């Protein structure tokens, strides 16, 4: 069965609650689609107003992070139960910005992935190499480690429902999109890694996005690739362009 495409916007640290609602109202008619899953991953403080604003539409709400404990003395953190209660269906985990600025590791990402599944939240687990790693020829070694450690103790049934976002760090927010060939090659490599860890059925089911300066011009060719099941979109997710990316065909 063909995998359903999924296009998720990562708003990063942008939009106050009132600005977030205004953006949802602007994008709502533009992202309507019967055949693509659409997710708005928004800052924690925007989740409740955005969840209210998307009611009755095809837009699902996602978080940009989550802690791996249930509750307690973790000042400033957000628990999975809080996200579920607020209407969150997806959570971005292990984004390269969180790895770089907030010391996320493959191990903490794995704990978060497991916790998200416990609460019925679909993880969008990010991976991707730096420019240095690409130039050293270790891209796939690095990504295989991120994926394998991130998926420790995740069952095949769980893995089938999740999303992996391949985001080369050198392409995020730089305006430098990976070529279609580069993106397809790594996404195919990730799928092969899933087949090794689990089986072919799991590899066929899991959805793999490309992320890194995706825009309305590059999305059609990227999303047409055999192993690219949509995109994780940063900058362009805050603009009407996002509607063109969702309706890329």
Is the Cβ–Cβ distance between 232 and 124 less than 8 Å? Answer: yes
**With respect to ligand PEP, which residue has the nearer C-beta, 173 or 240?**
173
By CB under 6 A, is residue 213 in contact with ligand PEP? yes
Helix (H, G, I), strand (E, B) or coil at 88: strand
**218 touches ligand PEP (CB under 6 A):** no
* Residue 212 in the binding site for ligand PEP (CB under 6 A): yes
- The DSSP string of 80-140 is HHHHHHHTEEEEEES-HHHHHHS---HHHHHHHHHHHHHTTPEEEEEE---HHHHHHT-HH
Check binding of 211 to ligand PEP (CB under 6 A). Answer: yes
- Is residue 158 at the binding interface for ligand PEP, with CB under 6 A as the rule? no
3-state SS, residue 188: helix
Sign, CA torsion 244/165/97/50: positive
Q: For the segment 222-241, give every residue that binds ligand PEP (CB under 6 A).
A: 232-236
Nearest-approach distance from CB 153 to ligand PEP, in angstroms: 26
| Binder of ligand PEP out of 64, 129, 167, 229 (CB under 6 A) | 167
| Active centre residues (catalytic) | 95, 167
User: Which of 5, 6, 10, 122 is close enough to bind ligand PEP by CB under 6 A?
Assistant: 10
Q: What residues make contact with ligand PEP under the rule CB under 6 A?
A: 10, 12, 167, 172-173, 211-214, 232-236
């Amino acid at each position: 069965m063909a995998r359903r495409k999924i296009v998720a916007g990562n708003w990063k640290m942008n939009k106050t609650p009132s600005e977030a609602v205004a953006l949802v109202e602007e994008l709502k008619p533009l992202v309507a689609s019967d055949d693509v899953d659409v997710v708005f991953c928004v800052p924690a403080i925007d989740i409740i107003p955005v969840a209210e604003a998307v009611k009755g539409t095809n837009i699902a709400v996602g978080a940009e992070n989550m802690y791996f404990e249930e509750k307690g003395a973790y000042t400033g953190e957000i628990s999975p139960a809080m996200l579920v209660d607020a209407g969150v269906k997806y959570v971005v985990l292990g984004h390269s910005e969180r790895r770089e600025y907030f010391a996320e590791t493959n191990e903490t990402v794995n704990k978060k992935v497991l916790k998200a599944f416990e609460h019925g939240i679909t993880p969008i687990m990010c991976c991707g190499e730096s420019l240095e790693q690409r130039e050293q020829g270790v891209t796939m070694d690095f990504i295989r480690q991120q994926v394998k450690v991130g998926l420790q103790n995740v069952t095949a049934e769980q893995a089938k429902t999740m999303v992996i976002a391949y985001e080369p760090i050198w392409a995020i927010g730089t305006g430098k999109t990976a070529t279609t060939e580069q993106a397809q090659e790594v996404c195919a490599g990730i799928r092969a890694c899933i087949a090794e860890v689990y089986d072919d059925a799991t590899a066929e089911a899991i959805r793999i996005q490309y992320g890194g300066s995706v825009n309305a011009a590059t999305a059609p060719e990227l999303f047409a690739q055999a192993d690219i099941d949509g995109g994780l979109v940063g900058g362009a997710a805050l603009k009407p362009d996002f509607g063109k990316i969702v309706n890329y065909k």
